[in-house]
Amino acid sequence: MKIAVTSVSGKLGSAIAKQMVKEIGKDHVLGITRTPEKANHLGVEIRQGDYNSREDFDQALQGVDAVLLVSGMDEPQKRIRQHRNVIDAAKQNGVKKIVYTSIVGDEENTAFSPIVKSNRQTEKDIQVSGLDWAIGRNGIYIEPDLEYIDNYVKDGEIRNCAADGRCAYTSRSELGDAYTQMLLGDKHTGQIYNLVGGAITQAELAGIIQ
């Protein structure tokens, strides 16, 4: 078995790759990234892969059984084409399964709606690809808040635009475990999961941090 993780030089991609190595060993995991030198520390095979290049992924996905597609960071409409490059290359190379890191969110009337819509389009593209698939919809990462704790302490408050809104946090390490199970477990094939924690207010977050 060979499982590929895209955007493996990023924080989410690397977290998933590290968990995959724990589960199945480094010889069965390969990383794909636009900048291979940034991922050498992971100790797995690294291949070149720019989402804008279908040719990159035609090469990068050779001999791969399953691929974890980490959602790109480009503007929404560009992402759809970029993700299709990976999906189409997976089909051409005989990849059996694709797992996608999507996001939770409303498709209408929020600042994030265009991004959510682009993710939903990729979900649809995957579902009609003919490949086995599983989709996770990520919530908000907790790490930025944890990394900012010293500033919160210094200021004596958590100051942002959330007000009384509730945020459903997850950590990248938790997501790494979840996506590993989705890649390896047949029972997850054809499933869509909201990968979020219990929603809390910023006041509740402050209490937890204390």
Where exactly are the structural domains of the chain?
3-138+171-196
> Who contacts 77 (Cβ-Cβ below 8 Å, separation ≥6)?
118
Q: What is the mean pLDDT of the segment spanning 140-166?
A: 78
Residue 110 has pLDDT above 80, yes or no: no
Task: Give the pLDDT mean for 48-61.
Answer: 97
Question: At residue 160, does pLDDT exceed 80?
Answer: no
Torsion, CA 41, CA 42, CA 43, CA 46, rounded to 10: -100
User: Rounded mean pLDDT of 20-48?
Assistant: 97
Residues found in the chain: 210
**What pLDDT is attached to residue 146?**
77
The answer as to CATH 3.40.50.720 being correct for domain 3-138+171-196 is: yes
pLDDT at 147: 77
Average pLDDT over residues 27-48: 96
Of residues 170 and 60, the one with the higher pLDDT is: 60
Per-residue pLDDT, 59: 97
- pLDDT attached to residue 154: 81
